[in-house]
Structure 1
Amino acid sequence: MHPRYHAPFAQLSDTLQHALLPILERPDFVGMLLADDVTTLCTQCDLTPETLAYALLPLAAACAIAPISHFQVGAVAQGESGNLYFGANMEFTAVPLQQTLHAEQSAIAHAWLRQERGLTSITVNYTPCGHCRQFMNELNRANTLHIHLPGREPAQLHHYLPDAFGPQDLNITTLLMDPVNHGRTLLDADLLAQTALDAANRSHAPYSNALSGVALETERGTVYTGRYAENAAFNPSLPPLQVALNLMNLAGEDIHSVRRAALVEPRNTTISQWVMLQIILAEAGCTDVQQHFID
């Protein structure tokens, strides 16, 4: 079990500890529970998926990286598959606060990168801020998404975001988490760049068309990818680097162990991920960064 889980794990009921321990001790545990695991835990511990998600919130919050706020937020997203996905806030020093990854964004991006096609609910240990409510409104299941908060009755997203502005107001029909492949190609690119290209081809950028993807190779040789997730309100858009670092963090790897990175984005674009990506990765100790262009 990753050391960050020790303290919150000790606070769980004995029954849940006994049932959950074999899952947390798997070498390939990456901060998600497969549907079969969820069913088994619910049966053994007399829980529903919703009450299980509440119980898991302290474990998700333990994944937070918060050097600025020192405030840990955890989220658990439930996919249509029945899988549960951890999420936690992630903050970055030396760059503007707008680069922060919120816990709800983290859980959504986690599910998206694990090939989940839609979410039924998101459970959070604190009320979602307006930024996150707007981000969730980009989802393909926004109209039916339920928000679960401790001590409150579950409510749909639009209870928290009434009279919302979203992709439908801009005539966008392909929504976040819809399967896409933009079909762009790269010539004479190595495997890391080709992996970043695949991420760019699956990114959600209907407002700027600035498709972008990132691939990070760690000291262990593991590769993590990130896709750009754009938002109708622009500011809640999620850069591909944060998506990749989020996946890496939830899998239990130190984000300072990135050895090299590749970014793929359009050559002629109204926006670029390049400058901020270099700054954040340099702060994490990585300066071996490639930039590749698609037309």
Structure 2
Amino acid sequence: MDDVLKHTLDQHRLSQLTHFSPEQIQLLMDASELGTGALASALLPLAKDKAQASISNFAVGAIAIGGSGHWYLGANVEFVGMPLPLSVHAEQAAIGHAALFDEQYIERVVVSATPCGHCRQFMQELNQDDLLLAWPEHHFMLNEILPHAFGPTDLQQTYGLLNNPTANLTASTQSAAQHKPDTLTLAAWDQANASYAPYSHNRAGVALLLNDGQICQGLYLENAAFNPSLGPLQLALSQLYLQGYTPADIKRAVLVEADAQVQQAAYAALLLGSLCDTALETLVVKSEA
């Protein structure tokens, strides 16, 4: 990393940030005299250092640059003892990070390694015609490296991953009686309402209460090709690692999901149980479909 950039990050206490505001990005550009692409590449190590690549030993960092001017970091996460499809790719983590901040549009995704086919398919769900992808010494539009793509429009979806309508999920009488909606449950409920599940209608959200009182959240992000879908717990865990915590810091974990043909609870409980002793609390609510 450039010495001037590193000094500016340290001076303004930005080194530990995982999300940069437009003002902070402008500050870094002014100090380093780097343009958007060069600055994003220079900041990639901040994301890459958060990777949890204990299986592949291949750390990847990514930055999603939103249309709002905010930049969102992401890194790959792998889970020892769990099936590989539960892994989180860096591009998924960065775009999921943006979704948690209600970002509506991604201008470009900058990544430290060539985006795999899984990630290209995941990014196709943004349903954008002009997504730029950049990695060392390369930059392409998504439609150039994923020609003849299958995506939401093939399944008659007019919106994409980040601009889907918010749901208004309601609890059944039985579930409400079994699970009082406290603050953590309501946080997971909000994420379920904001989640993207146009194919299964399994709106789902997770909230993790940490020992210091912080809350990490995740929401379900579905894909037209199904397999690149990102579960709410995986996204919440990617946020956990990104912010410098570990599963040992989880005090409580709540999943709220809609009653649908697809369900998150079983795999989410299995994954969480492989990482810590905290049990997953689950609330199933009425589907909007």
1:165 pairs with 2:150: yes
Task: Quote the Cα distance in structure 2 between the aligned partners of 1:33 and 1:250.
Answer: 14
Q: 1:107 aligns with which of 94, 101, 110?
A: 94
Check conservation: 2:67, 2:103, Cα contact below 8 A.
Answer: yes
Q: 1:237 aligns with which of 214, 217, 229?
A: 229
Question: Aligned AA for 2:284?
Answer: F
Number of the residue aligned with 1:118: 105
TM-score by length of 2: 0.92
Q: 2:130 aligns with which of 137, 141, 144?
A: 144
Q: Which stretches of structure 1, 4 residues or more, deviate above 2 A after TM superposition?
A: 22-26, 185-188
Question: Aligned AA for 2:144?
Answer: H
Task: Quote the Cα distance in structure 1 between the aligned partners of 2:13 and 2:228.
Answer: 32
Task: Quote the Cα distance in structure 2 between the aligned partners of 1:215 and 1:56.
Answer: 28
Number of the residue aligned with 2:277: 286
TM-score by length of 1: 0.91
Task: Quote the Cα distance in structure 2 between the aligned partners of 1:131 and 1:65.
Answer: 18
User: Which string of whole-angstrom CA distances, capped at 9 and with x for unpartnered residues, describes residues 98-124 of structure 1?
Assistant: 000001001101111122221100011
Question: Aligned AA for 2:150?
Answer: F
Unaligned runs of 5+ in 2: none
Number of the residue aligned with 1:21: 10
Number of the residue aligned with 2:218: 226
Q: Secondary structure at the match of 1:281?
A: helix
Check conservation: 1:278, 1:287, Cα contact below 8 A.
Answer: no
Q: Secondary structure at the match of 1:77?
A: strand
Q: Secondary structure at the match of 1:213?
A: strand
Check conservation: 2:192, 2:205, Cα contact below 8 A.
Answer: yes
Check conservation: 1:30, 1:252, Cα contact below 8 A.
Answer: no
Check conservation: 1:259, 1:286, Cα contact below 8 A.
Answer: no
Greater relative contact order (Cα < 8 A, sep 6+): 2
Check conservation: 2:272, 2:279, Cα contact below 8 A.
Answer: no
Question: Aligned AA for 1:18?
Answer: H
Question: Aligned AA for 2:277?
Answer: C
Question: Aligned AA for 1:151?
Answer: E
Task: Quote the Cα distance in structure 1 between the aligned partners of 2:12 and 2:159.
Answer: 35
Task: Quote the Cα distance in structure 2 between the aligned partners of 1:73 and 1:36.
Answer: 26
Task: Quote the Cα distance in structure 2 between the aligned partners of 1:210 and 1:23.
Answer: 42
User: Which string of whole-angstrom CA distances, capped at 9 and with x for unpartnered residues, describes residues 25-76 of structure 1?
Assistant: 57xx541211111111111111111110011112211010011111101111
1:53 pairs with 2:40: yes
1:271 pairs with 2:262: yes
Aligned length in residues: 279
Question: Aligned AA for 1:275?
Answer: A
Q: CA distance change for structure 1 residues 277 and 30 in 2, over 3 Å: closer, same or farther?
A: farther
Task: Quote the Cα distance in structure 1 between the aligned partners of 2:207 and 2:29.
Answer: 36
Task: Quote the Cα distance in structure 1 between the aligned partners of 2:17 and 2:201.
Answer: 31
Question: Aligned AA for 1:184?
Answer: L
Task: Quote the Cα distance in structure 2 between the aligned partners of 1:190 and 1:52.
Answer: 42
Q: CA deviation at 1:231?
A: 0.1
Question: Aligned AA for 1:104?
Answer: E
1:178 pairs with 2:167: no
